[in-house]
Structure 1
């Protein structure tokens, strides 16, 4: 989909479509809108998950009121790339979540429609259906509610939902697509975020070289360097404590020793608890080799900088330092450059080229 095309279609929409929109407020709640009838039930969408994934982490939990459908996912995909969600038609979700970068942002901070930079790095999106907390500070518990926030945030899309819904209603393609997905041509914010959440739940990545090694047991899939890195990852490096094999995240919120808190208090900004100062969401390391920069503020531009922080510069005096990092305090300065390179080599085995190039995720 050409982003500017949707905006121009909005501007040149037909009077007939506009008449439908203008008449919505006069419709009774039980009234049938033109185009509502005859769509038929949507088609269930089946996620293609490897057996070992289901056996190890379980099936993806999906809300009963927003089950995946072929039509809902297709609509969500279009909306993910839709610039009409922003106030001036200049950015979409995909503007800050780039597929080639693991659906992360290669910039340290994303730039909203006003030209203002954000204050946190836009994280990579992967295997979101298993997540239980969203945003770096964990403020939202579900994909639907997190999708709602980005549209109205002043330093992001800077829009109002009433205006977004009005624009989408006047783009000729959308009423039939909403009808196919949800049985109504009347668009609202709830249905928009449900469609977005459906698409985002399909962003699953389990086909990296590590996954091939894990699922087949064929040790030759990884090089000697990568296997040494794996041994460090689950052993002395203690990486797997917060980023366990499988999902490569424990879905927790942890203080990993970053300062200063006065710049960003993390979870404490939501709870008001001093014990939550500096606690941020543990991100998945899947596709981490292509999703730089790293951590909530994008302070590290490459993986070596991350290694050096954890293995050379972690401070015992850091308030609220997570207990899972205590073991690393005794090993500061004990990791060689070669060992760090081995770890980085292993992390690159988590890159899923099929995920990064899947045409089902691109703009339709």
Structure 2
């Protein structure tokens, strides 16, 4: 049987299609312009390799709020990191799926692009490597990254956002991590009363706040230094010990005895919104923390010199405590927490 002219037409069309150059759809995905606050430290070097983009941030925010990242679809990143609490929560220890209790208090997510270490023990150095931790941790989301991808791979909104962010709709672990980090890089808090006073924008400290700032500089600033209000060091400050035998603080990462029960100094920005305080929420209020410092902390061989050289305490009068708290409340960025 001979092939007719129609066959030749089809063959020519197929050959023509095979020779055509495929031009993928290109989307304008500009970098997000992030204003670096005056006096803030240098950004983490990983930011330069993963600069936030318009669609990358949108994708990251969607993932941050998606409960499908957890095994039973009940917990998202935002479940423990709520904006009204400076992206922390009010639980002493984080609560995961099936009401599982985590080892530590959920830290605030703010000014991440300026941090050198992440988590209480600093086991993460690049923010892009952080999202997997809660996803696979039994006490948190109890899932796996492959399970997460399986749940969202057919979601048309995700396909669109991955294409606009990365050039195609391929959903990979690395792209998930990078987009969540891009969103978190945009969570910059630097518009508190303290910042406005420093910028001479018409705000002034009250007499009590000014006295609290003076006490802070004398008795707190050696640890809570820089405009982040943390020097990002790891210190044992004699807080009550976590009864969980899995806890060892920084020593869990380094294996060094001298790091036992040392934790990353937390930022005091928005501290008004992040109670309870301590690595496992040992203190319900700021006053409880200051009372503990005043009364005396737990002794330890590696107790920080700030305490060890002062009789294991930071002496404070009742008025100094009240003024300190009033000053710390000037670090509250109501625009950031949307209050």
> Take 1:144 and 1:222, find their aligned partners in 2: how far apart are those partners?
38
1:187 is aligned to 171
Compared CA separation, residues 209 and 165, structure 1 to 2 (3 A): same
Task: Give the paired residue count.
Answer: 316
1:111 is aligned to 95
Question: C-alpha displacement at 1:245, in angstroms?
Answer: 4.1
Question: C-alpha displacement at 1:262, in angstroms?
Answer: 6.4
CA deviation string 1:226-284 (max 9, x = no partner):
0000000001x2x1111114110111111111243764211112222111101111110
- Verify: 1:300 aligned to 2:314, yes or no: no
CA deviation string 1:320-357 (max 9, x = no partner):
1122434543765x421111000000000000001011
Matches within 5 A, 1:345-360: 345-357=326-338
1:145 is aligned to 129
Mean CA deviation greater in 36-45 or 185-194 = 36-45
CA deviation string 1:4-25 (max 9, x = no partner):
xxxxxxxxxxxxxxxxxxxxxx
The counterpart of 1:204, out of the listed 181, 188, 192, is 188
Question: C-alpha displacement at 1:94, in angstroms?
Answer: 0.3
Tell me how large the CA RMSD over aligned residues is: 2.1
Gaps of 5+ in 2: 1-21
Gaps of 5+ in 1: 1-34, 359-364
Matches within 5 A, 1:1-364: 37-50=24-37, 52-53=38-39, 56-58=40-42, 61-216=45-200, 221-235=204-218, 237=219, 239-260=220-241, 263=244, 264-315=247-298, 317-329=299-311, 332=314, 334-357=315-338
> Take 1:36 and 1:312, find their aligned partners in 2: how far apart are those partners?
70
Is contact 2:42–2:114 with CA below 8 Å preserved after alignment?
no
Question: C-alpha displacement at 1:314, in angstroms?
Answer: 2.4
Is contact 1:36–1:179 with CA below 8 Å preserved after alignment?
no
> Take 2:146 and 2:320, find their aligned partners in 1: how far apart are those partners?
54
Mean CA deviation greater in 202-211 or 164-173 = 164-173
Compared CA separation, residues 62 and 160, structure 1 to 2 (3 A): closer
Is contact 1:300–1:306 with CA below 8 Å preserved after alignment?
yes
Is contact 1:76–1:196 with CA below 8 Å preserved after alignment?
yes
Highest Rg: 1 or 2? 2
- Give the alignment's TM-score, normalised by structure 2: 0.88
Question: C-alpha displacement at 1:49, in angstroms?
Answer: 3.1
Question: C-alpha displacement at 1:59, in angstroms?
Answer: 5.2
Is contact 1:41–1:183 with CA below 8 Å preserved after alignment?
no
Is contact 1:165–1:187 with CA below 8 Å preserved after alignment?
yes
Compared CA separation, residues 256 and 114, structure 1 to 2 (3 A): same
Compared CA separation, residues 336 and 145, structure 1 to 2 (3 A): same
- Give the alignment's TM-score, normalised by structure 1: 0.82
